[in-house]
A and B are shown apart, each in its own frame.
Chain A
């Protein structure tokens, strides 16, 4: 063996604490589940005990077979210290849990807690974290090593900010310190903008500090992913170029890897800088460096004569695994988080195996022989009133990635992967006309393409947007092909060229006047099928062992079918509101179940952030858009010549996957588990209604209608209020409680405009809601648990707090839930999972002694509560369901039907919102889902579990917290006990006019604050901004939706200053009850709550 260089190695730890990133919020999504899961795997490979803590139950990392000890607890210093005291880990991995994990590690270190318990920060020292995170220290460091930073000033007051503005000059960028996804920052071109953003940024920063910096708007933006080990070996894994120039947050930018417009000299100039920076910071692990590079000589005063390069600036460094590193890992096949974790425990890059080639080490730089495009997934399909402009504040909830051998194809596949209802690059907003808006927004990609289509000169587009001409020219090539497809006869050569540019069959069909299936038939006739090429980290230089593939239209296929039983698990695509990480959890579990059963697991997905797209999760990974064309192509590839396609599992990838059932069935592709027919019955309103009445399961009266006349008749017959929604949607899009005929007319008009098709109208029953997830094998139905919602019907189940086991249901009601679920499962002949939602309204039961249980919805697939209920009950739901699909009955697997007995724990699932990042979006809870993530509070009592859920979802309140109350007339009487409880808990009360009269009338002290913003100060906004109140309860009348409902400013301001804002009395009641109850909460591993100590 060669000699050891460098300093002596610290001892390898025997146990390590890994902090997760908590709930999914904008700026911090599934990528940290991927990172944490990889870290746990790495620890296991090294024989190190891993202790994992996260508040988010919908993660793979919190599975008990990923980490050795799992805590699902709020991520606070107090909780973490209790875990450290209990587990006594040797080390803490601070860099894998996003900004949340890094901040907590820093707090634990600075509070002396790590030293007190003898816990080492692994990989990255406290000093390094501070150097990278503290803007002043970071700037000084960069200046010392001669790396350019934009002129800037750190300020903590408005006065200092003004001085900085005068010195540097507008335009300026404002970046708050220590916030996620750039929360609270922005670009200021005018003095007014500057003032507004600086105030917002100071408020957003936990240390009340912002950076005021020279604006580099329009410069090229580039990123490098860098790794370094303790022996000072440094490599760059990947560089990435943003299509959107400086000015748009990287998380909101379209990103391409590798860079496309840099010369070799420029590429290495920035690479040199990145290596210099990681060395200066002393990071042992991974880091991400962002650069701005002048695009042209004319944007800067610069002596270009003979110069090869233009000036650049270092913009930002993340001393940790990041969203970009997840993307880079998937783009290259290089597992950054796994390698970073191994470096942190003392391994060197050349001692870590390249798990893709299995014959080279991690000390190399991946070579790509393809082009990767990432497009963010924004939530504006849900938030029609949100501000769509993009800037320094990230707004995307998720992202998609696509790979191909041309940029055009990768881009078009990424567009397909967004799953915007088949929207291709050909889409144009009806209001654009010939002059599409080119400013940065979620629709800019389409606007750029439309502008080319409308013959705006390409260089003008580039100059106007800062998007490099290279990208504009690629878009122009796509437009040129559109024109050819419109004008020319469709020939094999033309179709082949279109496919090489990534045109979907549907797009070709639209342009060449054919149906998608006819295009497919032509492809078959002409032998135009995609081949699959491997992502192998080395551009084919070495024989690699992984099975990570992408499609392309070329000659050689590298993915022949394997001669054994296999199944395809269709994933869930990008993280979006209504379809989150839960479905990735289910997909990964399904893959594991298949592999455990000895069946080859093929996985298809388009989301680079996830565990499911880790190249060694499945036996074969297809990184593809989740649409029917891609699925059929890859299934045909798996079938091979004359072979049979493997069965597809559509139950785990959310609505994305289950929506494919009908088309797959139509294409004679086998579907595992519940039949396409069963799925169709559950989703077709009329058929489902008939089925329920046949098996005597009650549901609220209602019907599916497609004309306004029918809607009015139906609603009149069943009586208002009614719940209206389009059929076949996920996440309750455009679902509303309608109070009268006028509102119904308005709703229907909007629904027609959106072409939503059939609209479902149901009697709105204002009762408690409950839901179950169940596994059915055709003979039995197993119900692992019943979840009761804290909020009454009317709040989307995804936005409700849910408690397991139910706290307020009678035995008869529970029995009815079990009985109805069983009947439905058997009647539909469900094979696998289903989710049933109930409303409990005894007053509406025709039988006065009846339980009052009504079925409101059945989803013939796994739901977002599957990970939650699997974890708290210990029933491995996805595994059972997959085994059922493989032909093993529940009995064979050792399970009876019926309700699984509840263990002695109480678990509360609470939604988490990202509202502070979405300007213009109203935060009130309603039938449309708005949350981006969830947390779980688990304990031995209800109040402790609720308290933990509230702390974990940032709704923590304490005795004495001053409250602002603004209650609708409908809810005033109901709120009386709650108001008294607040007073008894010592909470000072502030209230708007009417509510103040109510509180005063109760004989309680109250301060009146006007909600009329133009009638003197202090008004509601003032008291929230000033911190006079630290929590808000605001209820509204049902009805009109729109950007400016009553109390909008109250809710928005509360959101922006990040204080709890309750819009449902039910949530507030639970929170206040927990607040008032004595006793504290436990901090225990999950299995101890469930199975008791000693197991």
Chain B
């Protein structure tokens, strides 16, 4: 780093963000100067941009960070939550070219460029957020070489966010064992035999979910989103996790069908999209929220204890509890808007949460849910095999 380098702040080409409702924001291009189209959503977390960029749940979306200073601590190879950048586009108020962190090996701009992601900076992101919160999320496009009118015309020809199946894009295509060769975590020594086996149905899983299971001593197998209940059960799981993921849960018939076949066969934990899938299994429908929940500060109240947890969230759809099976109760609600945040089966070891107890990014307040899940997994694990098959 030299003073001279500072004076030459990179000259970035002009870019503009055009929303489907005609609102236009002019700024400069970041990442690859180019076009990008997706549903424009905002996240209020003040840190964690790299984890967010690699979160498969952002597939198909243009992500707006409300915190204005992005890229302060650069990027590194250890913080990716999936194998690639998932967002369609990235919107920030200010991107720093001079990050400072001992772990950083690339600036955020370089990171976006290497991944081929286009973004826009230097726009009034607060004005954009206020627009989205009052109007609801909307399709938008980033452009560097069109007038607002022609970009808008192009945007109108693009498919709507809700019409596409993003899970197919982000899910693994083949079954694999997660970090099989790395030593797992604290496996209780008093339990004999092989470690418990957890199957993760990959609807767009984040690595930290599998990491947290590994550190709790499990062997973890991820399976494609299309895997049937029979195929999952054939892996002899001691527990099953339905992962988070992108898109409209009403499109996921196959996953709902598979999940229905898993209830009662092994302990199940549903997270985010997995929670919505379980909601559908138990008779509920899902609906689209006006501007979703995306951030690291979402208060969720456990209805049993009255205790409130701060959670990381990233979802645009919610479970409508109206037609929920009587066997299932709403165990947690969002404190701000009363939406369903947790489901608990009254007799089976099945529970689901709408938020991200795996954090990354976000608070770790509900990481204990993985312990709770593991407790049921272990109790199953200890039963004779006959009961489990």
| Residue positions of A touching B, CB distance < 8 A | 2-6, 231-236, 258-265, 267-268, 271-272, 275, 295-297, 304, 306, 308, 310, 348-350, 359-361, 363-371, 405-407, 452, 455, 457-459, 468-470, 473, 476-477, 480, 483-484, 533, 538-543, 554-556, 558
Contact = CB atoms under 8 A, between A and B. Distances in A.
Contacts of A555: 123-124, 127
Interface string B117-146: 000000111110110011000000000000
A20 B196 CA distance: 58
Contacts of A295: 102
B310 A235 contact: yes
Given A371-B69, A541-B44, A405 B295 contact: no
Contacts of A261: 72-73, 100-101
A231 B126 contact: no
B34 interface: no
Contacts of A366: 297
Contacts of B47: 258-259, 262-264, 267
Interface stretch (B251-259, B320-328, B359-367): B359-367
A310 B103 CA distance: 10
A359 to B, nearest CB: 8
Interface stretch (B1-9, B184-192, B236-244): B1-9
B11 interface: no
Interface stretch (B147-155, B157-165, B298-306): B298-306
Nearest to A405: B68
Nearest to B48: A264
Nearest to B300: A363
Given A368-B67, A480-B6, A469 B100 contact: yes
Given A264-B48, A405-B68, A477-B6, A233 B100 contact: no
Contacts of A469: 1, 98, 100
Nearest to A556: B127
Contacts of A306: 78
A2 B335 contact: no
B330 to A, nearest CB: 11
A-B interface, 9 closest residue pairs, ranked by CB to CB distance from nearest = A264-B48, A556-B127, A5-B306, A470-B100, A5-B305, A367-B44, A365-B297, A539-B66, A264-B361
B73 A539 contact: no
Contacts of A271: 363
A547 to B, nearest CB: 16
A914 B360 CA distance: 47
A360 B310 CA distance: 14
B73 A263 contact: yes
B344 interface: no
A452 B98 CA distance: 16
B303 A2 contact: yes
Nearest to A267: B47
B76 to A, nearest CB: 8
A831 B116 CA distance: 67
A497 B96 CA distance: 15
Given A306-B78, A363-B308, A458-B3, A263 B103 contact: yes
Given A541-B44, A541-B133, A364 B310 contact: yes
A1002 B127 CA distance: 81
Interface in B28-70: 42, 44-48, 50-51, 66-69
Nearest to B74: A263
Contacts of B126: 369, 405, 533, 539-540, 554, 556
Nearest to B132: A540
B101 to A, nearest CB: 6
Interface of B: 1-3, 6-7, 9, 42, 44-48, 50-51, 66-69, 72-73, 78-79, 93-94, 96, 98-103, 123-127, 129-130, 133-134, 291, 295-299, 301-310, 335-336, 359-365
Chain A at the B interface: SS class: loop
A716 B134 CA distance: 75
Contact of B67 (A232, A359, A539, A554): A539
Nearest to B309: A233
A540 B129 contact: yes
Contacts of A297: 102
B124 A554 contact: yes
A880 to B, nearest CB: 42
A225 B125 CA distance: 27
Contacts of B1: 458-459, 469, 473
B98 A470 contact: yes
B3 A476 contact: yes
B47 to A, nearest CB: 4
Nearest to B7: A480
A1011 B307 CA distance: 66
Contacts of A264: 45, 47-48, 50-51, 79, 360-362
A260 B67 CA distance: 11
Nearest to A483: B7
A296 B102 contact: yes
A236 B123 CA distance: 29
Contacts of B98: 469-470, 473
A1085 B375 CA distance: 60
Contacts of B94: 405-406
A723 B299 CA distance: 64
B44 A539 contact: yes
A364 B335 contact: yes
Contact of A361 (B130, B291, B299, B305): B299
A540 B133 contact: yes
26 contacts: A2-B301, A2-B303, A258-B67, A261-B100, A261-B101, A262-B47, A264-B45, A275-B365, A349-B308, A350-B299, A350-B306, A360-B299, A360-B335, A369-B44, A369-B126, A406-B94, A455-B3, A458-B3, A469-B100, A480-B3, A480-B7, A480-B9, A540-B66, A540-B133, A554-B124, A555-B124
B7 A542 contact: no
Contact of B306 (A348, A407, A539): A348
Nearest to A462: B100
Nearest to B49: A264
Which of B46, B129, B133 is packed against the most chain A CB atoms within 10 Å?
B46
A363 B335 contact: yes
A538 B46 CA distance: 11
Nearest to A360: B336
B129 A541 contact: yes
A231 B307 contact: yes
Most B C-beta atoms less than 10 A away, residue of A310, A452, A477? A477
Nearest to B78: A308
Contacts of A476: 3, 6
Contact of B307 (A233, A258, A407, A540): A233
A120 B1 CA distance: 59
A676 B9 CA distance: 46
Contacts of B306: 2-6, 231, 348, 350
A308 B103 contact: yes
Contact of B3 (A235, A310, A452): A452
Contacts of B42: 541
A270 to B, nearest CB: 11
Contacts of A235: 299, 308, 310
Given A233-B308, A235-B299, 4 more contacts: A263-B103, A368-B46, A371-B69, A405-B93
B72 A260 contact: yes
Given A405-B68, A533-B126, A310 B102 contact: yes
A369 B125 contact: yes
A793 B297 CA distance: 59
B68 A543 contact: no
B371 to A, nearest CB: 15
Given A264-B361, A310-B102, A457-B2, A539 B308 contact: no
Contacts of A554: 124, 126-127
A268 B3 contact: no
Nearest to A365: B297
Given A308-B78, A366-B297, A473 B44 contact: no
A907 B383 CA distance: 81
Contact of A367 (B3, B66, B101, B123): B66
Contacts of B130: 540, 556, 558
